[in-house]
Amino acid sequence: MAGAAAEQRRLATVVESWLGRPVLIVGDAMLDEWRFADSDRLCREAPAPVLTLRRRISAAGGAANTAVNVAALGGRAVLVAPVGADVAGDELHDCLDRAGVWDRTVDQPGRPTPVKRRMLAGNQILLREDSGDPDDALDPEGVSRLLTALACATEELRAAAGGEAPTLVVCDYGLGALPAPVRAWLVEQRERYATVALDAHDLADWRGLAPTVVTPSFAEATRLLARAGATTRPTGGTELHLKHPDIDPADGPSEMTVGAAPGGVRADDAAERTTDRPGPVGEPIRGEGRVALTGDGLSVTGTGVTVNTRAGEGVDRAVLAESRLAELRAHTGADVVAVTLDTEGAVVGGADGAPRRSHSTPVPASHAVGAGDAYLAAMTLALAADAPLPTAAQLAQLAATITVSDTGTCVCRREDLLTALDQPTGTTDRSALVGTDELDAIVAEYREAGRSVVFTNGCFDVLHRGHVRYLEQARALGDLLIVAVNSDGSVRRLKGPDRPVNPVEDRGALLAALACVDHVVVFEEDSPAALIEAVRPDVYVKGGDYPPELVPEAPLVRRLGGQVRTLGYVPDRSTSAIIERIRTHSQDPAPRATDRVPDESLSTRTQAS
């Protein structure tokens, strides 16, 4: 029992270590819509149920749900993806905002947001309607804007993390969000990311990326091996044939059914087989798009792999996947391959060649939508935090398993993961963005625990390196850092009609994502005096090179029993200077093809956009 408790504490330590880890997610974002209805009769026109809609739920799907899971697990998630300028796109933006994801999606007028609408009665999915055509390709301007968003988001994350290289997650579900120029850019820029995770329906499209980890389904792994042209081994005996669609579903595990191999027979027809009937041929006929399992269960034919039914029932997908991990690593260039097996768990392999098997609990299909996104998010965060592979695999499977308790799109929260590990979640699980009423309770809680409170305020219009260093120094002065940020109206009154550059929602979210900031609160007044009186900080921090005596709020802070500290900014790093450089740059002639934009300028443009 003591050993199990120690193991849970060790896993929880990894969960804590990835808190605030910067992660950029790029790929096919979609909206999941769930419509729950009642039905107690059939319609007169046809043998179909009459449905009465009771409630409707919208959730982020695809790459957007991966971003939501990264944020819910405690990472710093930024999503870059094309999103339609439509109602579904608006709903998707709302989902991202509620989840605390940095929304850097690119509007694509005329290209609809992909939507998966599910109609349920009695928790049973009756039908699913998909909208959004993968043939709706991005136009050249859309591709250019997507590449700009990728470059800017990368530098934005790097700046917010104090120069740390971010993690990249690529979610390619074949819906057109990642055309060839975008894939080429990501391959070329691979060195800008410390850890790279790839989840793609067609792994062959990503040669050269050299990802840290790939998470194919069994069918996706099979297709890659088939296309790699593995040598066919001799076959014998009755064969089990697995069939899957030419295009895998974009939101979950591949649909696979048992049937007869091309030219062969079903296993249950073996007794009736005659010598003049042809045996399995291993190569599907045109249009079948099948995955054939042959011979010893380890061979790959032109389009698939097979198992000999007479070799014993013990040869299953997990055994097959384990036997091919080394080939999958070689063909993908990945350090780690995790072959997901739907409700059967996963098989994971790394450089040491030792396969690791994880298991899951079978659940209804309506409970498992998006479980793979939770798996991918937890696996990525664990590897980015330098966790050993067995630990990363264990946490990823746990994250996927604990999300499937009910119908809907799966999201694993950090507190759920810690609770599953029997670890206290503590007060740090509160949202970083808080209101003034909630702030009173938070401060009281910290005071009761004997912890010191540091308070600062400002516009933080264009977050830059000087701000980050200043806030890190402020956090070091106590146990809790509260940042009060001026509302848009307050900034206009203080700075002029052309400010702020960024709305308070963006400024607050960016500050809240910094690891050194515990809580962010917005205030409408021109002075933070009312908040200072409410918080009664132990230390009040202001930026500048002047003595504390010149800080306007100093008398109030001292009267309340606190001390005042001033911290200097990084030289030549100020919001006004950055905005001026942007304006000057925008007036310059178009740069020559040979001109290179330095990283600092790119970061500046990113933070001001």
Residue 549's CATH number: 3.40.50.620
32-36, 229-233, 237-241: segment of lowest average pLDDT: 237-241
For 290-344, how does the pLDDT look when each residue is reduced to its tens digit (9 = 90+)?
333 333 334 333 333 333 333 334 447 888 888 889 999 999 999 999 998 877 7
Does residue 458 sit in the same domain as residue 327? no
Strands 346-349 and 480-486: unpaired
pLDDT at 588: 56
Conformation bin of residue 506: beta by default, left when phi > 0, alpha when psi is -120 to 50: alpha
Q: Please determine, for residue 193, whether its predicted confidence score (pLDDT) is greater than 70.
A: yes
For 60-80, how does the pLDDT look when each residue is reduced to its tens digit (9 = 90+)?
999 999 999 999 999 989 999
Residue 373 annotated to the active site = yes
pLDDT at 578: 58
Whole-angstrom CA distances from 334 to 213, 325, 515 are: 5, 11, 30
In terms of pLDDT, which residue wins out, 205 or 189?
189
Half-sphere exposure in the Cβ direction for 193 (13 Å, CA):
30
Examine residue 557 and state whether it is found in any structural domain, yes or no.
yes
Does residue 454 sit in the same domain as residue 401? no
pLDDT at 557: 92
Amino acid at site 91? E
Does residue 474 sit in the same domain as residue 387? no
Secondary structure (DSSP) of 133-181: -TTSPPPHHHHHHHHHHHHHHHHHHHHHTTTPPPEEEEEE-SSSSS-HH
Return the closest-CA partner of residue 20 out of 608, 518, 552: 518
The domain in which residue 510 lies consists of 436-576
How far apart are alpha carbons 456 and 486 in whole angstroms? 11
How far apart are alpha carbons 16 and 381 in whole angstroms? 11
Examine residue 146 and state whether it is found in any structural domain, yes or no.
yes
pLDDT at 377: 95
Q: Bridge partners of 198?
A: 170, 214
- H helix count then E strand count, the chain: 19, 24
Question: What are 306's two structure tokens?
Answer: 């097979």
Does residue 462 sit in the same domain as residue 359? no
Q: Is there a contact between 239 and 292 (Cβ–Cβ < 8 Å)? A: yes
pTM for this prediction:
0.61
Terminal C-alpha separation, the chain: 53
Mean pLDDT of 540-551: 81
Secondary structure (DSSP) of 501-513: SS-HHHHHHHHHT
Helices (H), 431-484: 436-448, 465-475
Examine residue 63 and state whether it is found in any structural domain, yes or no.
yes
The single residue of 373, 416, 461, 488 carrying the catalytic annotation is 373
Report CA Rg, the chain: 27
How far apart are alpha carbons 282 and 333 in whole angstroms? 28
Examine residue 431 and state whether it is found in any structural domain, yes or no.
no
Does residue 165 sit in the same domain as residue 65? yes
Examine residue 231 and state whether it is found in any structural domain, yes or no.
no
Return the closest-CA partner of residue 466 out of 609, 569, 359, 332: 569
Length of the chain equals: 609
Does residue 196 sit in the same domain as residue 89? yes
pLDDT at 312: 35
Examine residue 263 and state whether it is found in any structural domain, yes or no.
no
Examine residue 29 and state whether it is found in any structural domain, yes or no.
yes
Q: Structural domain tally of the chain?
A: 2
Q: Bridge partners of 259?
A: 241
Which residues have CB under 8 Å from 559's CB, separation 6+?
A: none
The answer to whether the bond into 548 is cis (omega within 30° of 0) is no
Does residue 148 sit in the same domain as residue 35? yes
Burial label, 538 (beta-carbon count in 10 A; 0-12, 13-18, 19+): buried
Does residue 148 sit in the same domain as residue 114? yes
CA 378 to chain centre: 9
Does residue 517 sit in the same domain as residue 378? no
Q: Is there a contact between 172 and 64 (Cβ–Cβ < 8 Å)? A: no
How far apart are alpha carbons 336 and 212 in whole angstroms? 6
For 460-476, how does the pLDDT look when each residue is reduced to its tens digit (9 = 90+)?
988 877 788 888 888 88
Q: What is the CATH number of the domain that holds 211?
A: 3.40.1190.20
Does residue 500 sit in the same domain as residue 385? no
Question: What are 578's two structure tokens?
Answer: 């950055």
Half-sphere exposure in the Cβ direction for 165 (13 Å, CA):
11
63-77, 220-234, 274-288: segment of lowest average pLDDT: 274-288
Secondary structure (DSSP) of 552-579: TTHHHHHHTT-EEEEEPPPTT--HHHHH
Conformation bin of residue 463: beta by default, left when phi > 0, alpha when psi is -120 to 50: beta
Examine residue 291 and state whether it is found in any structural domain, yes or no.
no
pLDDT at 579: 57
Cβ atoms within 10 A of the Cβ of 164, count?
15
Which residues have CB under 8 Å from 584's CB, separation 6+?
A: none
How far apart are alpha carbons 354 and 576 in whole angstroms? 55
Does residue 65 sit in the same domain as residue 171? yes
Q: Please determine, for residue 242, whether its predicted confidence score (pLDDT) is greater than 80.
A: no
Does residue 152 sit in the same domain as residue 204? yes
Return the closest-CA partner of residue 484 out of 424, 411, 553, 416: 553
Q: What is the mean pLDDT of the chain?
A: 77
Q: Name the band, by pLDDT with cuts 50, 70 and 90, for residue 190.
A: very high
Q: Name the band, by pLDDT with cuts 50, 70 and 90, for residue 245.
A: very low
Q: Name the band, by pLDDT with cuts 50, 70 and 90, for residue 275.
A: very low
